[in-house]
Amino acid sequence: MTLLRRELGDVLRERRRAQGLTLREVSATASVSLGYLSEVERGEKEASSELLASICGALDLPLSKVLIDVSSRMAESEGLATTVSLPVPAADVVSASAA
Amino acid sequence: MTLLRRELGDVLRERRRAQGLTLREVSATASVSLGYLSEVERGEKEASSELLASICGALDLPLSKVLIDVSSRMAESEGLATTVSLPVPAADVVSASAA
């Protein structure tokens, strides 16, 4: 079972790293203890809605955008990822037995 | 400040009602107490990731879909709602003063 807090933690960590911020910096701006933020990022602790808003604020990131990221990760693990079909000319289609 | 648990509660309640299910039915299927489910729907209690998965299971609803709903509600309250532009033939555009 894919848990919300795991995906949420992954997204928050990725977003923080993409901005080149340390756990220490974000925890200070968000007024959250470094240990707690680290546990949230590792998906070990549930972040309360207030704390989550605070972390998003520290990352200057709307919560809605974080949720979209989380949602698409969840969809993938739920097997609901949208598949992309690319047109392939018939001549390029080779069956396994013919290869 | 828009809190995740409020929007999440609203979405869960809407989805339950749309299916014509009662709090009692969903709480029984999800193995959650009726009072707790009710508080979650009212945005008064944070649902743990496990509980949330359980409620979504009872609603036969992928969590990713719930999160997309929540995300678009959050975006609206954050003033980030995407605007839809529809092409309009120039001749159909009538200014207010001309009407």
The predicted structure's pLDDT at residue B18: 97
Structure confidence by residue, pLDDT tens digits, B23-38: 999 999 999 999 999 9
Residue-range domain boundaries for chain B: 4-75
Higher per-residue confidence, A16 vs B98:
A16
Kindly report the CATH number that applies to the domain delimited by B4-75.
Answer: 1.10.260.40
Query: pLDDT category, B99, cuts 50, 70, 90?
Result: very low
Task: Please say whether the beta carbons of A31 and A54 come within 8 A.
Answer: yes
Residue A6, pLDDT > 60, answer yes
* Residues of chain A contacting residue B71, judged by C-beta atoms under 8 Å apart: 64, 67-68, 71
Task: Please say whether the beta carbons of B62 and A74 come within 8 A.
Answer: yes
Which of A3, A71, A80 is nearest residue B71 as measured by Cβ atoms? A71
Task: Please say whether the beta carbons of A64 and B71 come within 8 A.
Answer: yes
Query: pLDDT category, A99, cuts 50, 70, 90?
Result: very low
A/B interface, count of CB pairs below 8 Å = 69
Give the residue-averaged pLDDT of A20-43: 97
Residue B82, pLDDT > 70, answer no
Q: Which has the closest alpha carbon to A72: B98, B93, B71? A: B71
* Residues of chain A contacting residue B48, judged by C-beta atoms under 8 Å apart: 46
- Helices A63-77 and A49-58: crossing angle in degrees, nearest 10, is 110
Kindly report the CATH number that applies to the domain delimited by A4-73.
Answer: 1.10.260.40
The predicted structure's pLDDT at residue A77: 85
A98 is written with which tokens? Answer: 């013919």
- Helices A49-58 and B4-18: crossing angle in degrees, nearest 10, is 120
Residue ranges in chain A assigned as alpha helix (H): 4-18, 23-30, 34-41, 49-58, 63-77
Residue A59, pLDDT > 80, answer yes
What pTM value is reported for the model? Answer: 0.79
Give the residue-averaged pLDDT of A36-45: 97
Give the residue-averaged pLDDT of B38-46: 97
The predicted structure's pLDDT at residue B1: 76
